[in-house]
Structure 1
Amino acid sequence: MSSGTVVRPYGDTTGDGMVQLSFTLPVVCDRRAEGAALQLAGKMGMDPAMVVHSRPIGEGFTFFVVYGRVSHLVDLSEVRVAERDFPVLPAKEINAVVRRRLRRKLVVVGACIGTDAHTVGIDAILNVKGIAGEKGLESYPEFRVVNLGAQVGVADLVERAVTERADAVLVSQVVTQRDAHLHNTRQMSAAFREALPAGRRPLLVVGGPRFDELMAEQLGVSRIFGRGTTPREVASYLVHELTGAGVAG
């Protein structure tokens, strides 16, 4: 069902409202557990609902996939997203803009902060090998990249960024238990505000699969990048912000 900007989920037929939901309950995997999963699905508005998959994941925990119908509608006119307000340039043009307008190498310091040891995201953006067929920022001749790796303390990150005279600090956060990614990001932005005056602070850019890209101002950072971000997109943003290069040329 679709009327203007109002849509319903699609499962088997258009507008049937069918959705698939996965979750874990702290119960032993048995028939009673499946009944508990169906009860939860019903309270969430799925009617009818069916358990299409269940399996134990450790002692006393069961993972479920539930399929069912919801009556909720989505109004696309009310959807808010973080729009990209900069052009994504070819790698060659990114280097040319830095050389022409910055007239020195653009310095980037990257890290995973706090107890986060998941470097896949930051390495995908910074390392030469990159991701999805795009090379990382280390491959850009006009960039100087310092990758500090995992579990970097906020104080150490600030100190190194100051020492390197970083233009931008890129932080990846994957661990989200108890909102650790939000706490760490706020702590980092506060530390940079304390250490440097506004005109000397680097761009603070954070990324990770669980961030809300609309929360940049609330978290005190310049930009948030979500899942699917590529090195060229990050490089284009840095060039846009640091050189005022709204368009190629």
Structure 2
Amino acid sequence: MKNIFKTMFPVLIFAAFFLGCSNEDLKPIYGEQVAGKVVIRGYSTLKDSVQIVSNGKILKIGEKNTFIGKIIKDYEFVYYDNKEKNIDIINKATGEILHSYNFTASSPNDTLSFYVKDGIWLDDVLSFKPGVLSGTGVTGYKFIFPTMNRYSNSGYDGPIDGIIKKLNGEILGVAENITKDSFSNFVEFAFAPPPIFTVQLVKHGTTDSYIAGQQVVVQMVMQNNKSRMIVLDEKVNENGTFSGVEGIINLTDYFDF
């Protein structure tokens, strides 16, 4: 019996190899395989929970497959035959695809990062970086404005500057080139009471409001020894009319940069 087994064992190995290969080119059925990894970092303030779906498969974090708030997932998988990996962020209640991403084996280790709230989707958040404070006793800011003109319909599509002032009118600095897609330069100034300051939104390089005939001022609170990344957001009143701009979203509260 032992001799029969010794004779058959090489034959079985040989057969297993060819069964695992296609008949056409004798390559393994699964073809080329590349280990892939997508680092997923997100934050959702939507009322409905979101799901992360990869090529039709709902991803889990621990035992959870629906998410509100912070989302942290290191998704590891295999690329077969250089086929793309698709990842969708979906509103669970409505089934709406909020955003889709495609990844390929040409960049096997990649990152997906986003911030979402009603009316706002900020993509590739971790590609932005907060400013570095020069020392203690100071505070610093960058600004982005994804909802610019959503309600104001100002007719101005260029970059915006934010003139930062104390309540007594003293100018602390100017955040330049605020756009829908990218943050302004970093502005740093000394922390001093009272901790209230204003940001006047104007057309780049001017003191003219980005909305003709209407001054737009955002009131904010200083935070000592903090570098903040503020998302500006146009708001409307109950009649659907533009009512001003808020600056209460700070991305450094939600992400580890």
| Same fold (TM > 0.5) | no
Give the TM-score, by structure 1 length: 0.24
Structure number with higher relative contact order (C-alpha < 8 Å, ≥ 6 residues apart)? 1
Larger Rg: 2
Q: Per residue, is there more strand in 1 or in 2?
A: 2
Q: Per residue, is there more helix in 1 or in 2?
A: 1
